[in-house]
Amino acid sequence: MNDRTDVAERESDATGLTTFLAGALVGAGIALMFAPQPGSQLRGTLRNYANRAKDDLVEKGQEAWDTAVERGKEYYDKGEAAFGDATRSAKEFVKQGKDMGREAVRSAQEEFRDQGKGAL
């Protein structure tokens, strides 16, 4: 698989997880509202549930951030390596061009000398 496919799959997984968590929160809230409990107990239960959900979301957000930072570092390293490879290739290309230019000048000088000797 290529990098784009991997990223698309990870984004799809993250979207699915977010949707699931939101659905779970809504479903749990509705279930608690219809449960036979006194008002103060229901409010306490909802408060506890909301706090747990908030903590879970913060944890998932931190994990997503850490993953994004890690991927960013990987892409930076790949880019840096590619830039280094391109730089080396460019230097080699320039060196080959210089060598070919020098060889062309030598050949031209020899040809010029040979033509000059033939004219004498």
Considering only the C-alpha atoms of the chain, give the largest distance between any 2 of them, rounded to a whole number of Å: 121
- Please, are residues 60 and 17 in contact by the beta-carbon 8 Å criterion? yes
Q: List the chain domain ranges.
A: 3-119
Confidence class of residue 88 from pLDDT cuts 50, 70 and 90? very high
- Please, are residues 32 and 46 in contact by the beta-carbon 8 Å criterion? yes
Query: What are 42-73's pLDDT values in tens digits?
Result: 778 878 888 888 888 888 889 889 999 999 99
The whole-model pTM stands at: 0.44
> What angle (nearest 5°) sits at the alpha carbon of residue 18, between those of residues 44 and 71?
125
Taking residues 97-102, what's their average pLDDT?
Answer: 93
Q: What does the block give as tokens for 112? A: 């010029």
pLDDT confidence of residue 19 = 81
Q: To the nearest whole number, what is the mean pLDDT of the chain?
A: 82
